[in-house]
């Protein structure tokens, strides 16, 4: 495999369907964020993002929202349903519209 060759994960079809976050703090200052991902196959993954990495992610998302609007995809999908007709049932587009947040759910579940 060459250095620039594309690599595919063994689980490349196991997409993230939703996520939960928790802020980690020490002595009153946040030091990182834990993100629990719910995967397409219903398993979960827990990751830790150091403060710098999470800050860079948030800057990127803010730039995306500023340029396209935070609900740009939702508006496009409403105008053109063919954009979402082949998305998996657990795709965030569908779960955002159909699932209700259970405020009693525990992060450890």
Q: Is residue 106 part of a domain?
A: no
Q: pTM value?
A: 0.49
On whether residue 46 sits in a domain, the answer given is yes
Number of structural domains in the chain = 1
Give the pLDDT confidence of 87-102 residue by residue, as tens digits: 777 777 777 777 766 6
- Give the mean model confidence (pLDDT) for residues 43-71: 83
Half-sphere exposure in the Cβ direction for 81 (13 Å, CA) = 1
Exposure pattern of 47-59 as b/e (b: 16+ CB <10 Å)?
Answer: eebeeeebeeeee
34 found inside a domain:
yes
Q: How far apart are CA 62 and CA 60, in angstroms?
A: 5
Closest CA to 16 of 95, 109, 72, 103: 95
CA distance 72 to 23: 28
Q: At residue 46, does pLDDT exceed 90? A: yes
Is 7 part of any domain?
Answer: no
Query: Each residue of 1-25: pLDDT tens digit?
Result: 444 444 455 556 777 878 888 999 9
Q: Which structural domain range is residue 78 located in?
A: 16-98
In a domain, 57, yes or no: yes
In a domain, 108, yes or no: no
């Amino acid at each position: 495999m060459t250095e620039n060759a594309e690599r595919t994960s063994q689980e490349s079809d196991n997409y993230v369907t939703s996520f939960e976050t928790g802020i980690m703090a020490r002595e009153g200052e946040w030091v990182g964020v834990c993100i629990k991902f719910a995967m397409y196959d219903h398993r979960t993954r827990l990751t830790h993002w150091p403060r710098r990495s999470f800050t860079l992610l948030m800057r990127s998302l803010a730039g995306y929202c500023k340029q396209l609007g935070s609900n740009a995809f939702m508006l496009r999908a409403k105008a053109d349903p063919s954009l979402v007709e082949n998305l998996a049932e657990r795709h965030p587009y569908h779960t955002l519209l159909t699932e209700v947040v259970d405020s009693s759910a525990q992060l450890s579940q």
